[in-house]
């Protein structure tokens, strides 16, 4: 990354200059301080630039200008050489947009290098592995997903759901839920999920709301969401008509 390279070069230059004219030890110390400060400054600078890209894309998403949002996100690729994991972040967001448009094949291409910290994109990637018969990758990706989201009940519930309902591995699903109980013993959703599982009942994942609906794994739940959105839109239209 160029930010790191520039910071190292400046640190060396400052260290050598001060070491030559004053003292080598002092020069090394000042060089390190200047280099670290510059690195943090550049990182913050390009993080803000990238955040502006995400904000602009989100504005278009709210207006359902999906293609334009994707184009805006792609414009952020130019910052990839200046900061770490920029392309992975952008590709994750593009993958999420395409997935929610039901362009699953295209989305999967972008989600390949998703970061487990971007929870929704990473889960969509795992689903892509399952749908594309790359099940050998599922275990390691779920391990990473949980590792970076240890206190997120949704992550455990989704992992258990995928093992039980998509992969037919109830033993692995139970293992996941038991881990969840140890990590979050007081979480009611996890308790309910484990109880339902032990009683051979399907846990209602729609308790997680929009996060769950966006994965499009439960057609009935998705249909309920769409009907709810239609009713909400109709109520809004009635209010506008009365306002006139």
pLDDT of residue 179: 96
Range of the domain at 30: 1-84
The reported pTM is 0.75
> Is 13 among the domain residues?
yes
Whether 153 is covered by a domain: the verdict is no
Mean pLDDT by 10 residues, the chain (244 residues): 53 60 65 63 67 79 81 82 76 91 92 89 95 90 95 96 93 95 95 93 89 82 55 47 48
* Predicted pLDDT of residue 84: 65
Count of domains observed in the chain: 1
Sign of CA dihedral 239, 242, 243, 244: positive
Does the residue 59 lie in any domain? yes
Domain annotation covers residue 115? no
Q: Say if 110 falls within a structural domain.
A: no
Tokens of residue 98, six digits: 């395409």
d(C-alpha 72, C-alpha 148), whole Å: 28
Residue 47 lies in a domain: yes
Does 130 map to a domain? no
H or E element that contains 109: helix 104-111
Number of neighbours of residue 87 by Cβ within 10 angstroms: 15
Is 44 a member of any domain?
yes
């Amino acid at each position: 990354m160029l930010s790191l390279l520039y910071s190292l070069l400046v640190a060396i230059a400052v260290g050598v200059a001060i070491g030559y004219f004053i003292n080598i030890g002092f020069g090394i110390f000042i060089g390190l301080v200047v280099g670290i400060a510059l690195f943090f400054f550049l990182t913050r600078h390009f993080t803000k630039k990238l955040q502006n890209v995400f904000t602009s894309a989100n504005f278009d998403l709210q207006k359902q200008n999906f293609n334009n949002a994707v184009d805006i996100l792609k414009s952020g690729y130019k910052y990839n050489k200046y900061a770490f994991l920029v392309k992975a972040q952008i590709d994750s967001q593009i993958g999420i947009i395409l997935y929610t448009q039901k362009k699953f094949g295209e989305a999967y291409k972008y989600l390949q290098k998703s970061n487990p910290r971007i929870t929704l994109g990473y889960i969509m990637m795992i689903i892509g592995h399952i749908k594309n018969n790359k099940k050998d990758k599922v275990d390691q990706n779920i391990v990473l997903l949980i590792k970076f989201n240890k206190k997120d009940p949704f992550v455990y519930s989704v992992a258990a759901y995928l093992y039980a309902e998509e992969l037919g591995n109830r033993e692995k699903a139970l293992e996941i839920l038991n881990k969840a109980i140890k990590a979050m013993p007081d979480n009611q959703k996890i308790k309910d999920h484990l109880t339902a599982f032990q009683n051979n009942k399907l846990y209602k994942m729609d308790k997680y709301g929009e996060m769950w609906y966006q994965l499009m794994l439960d057609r009935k739940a998705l249909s309920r969401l769409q009907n709810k959105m239609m009713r909400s839109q109709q109520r809004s239209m009635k209010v506008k008509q009365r306002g006139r």
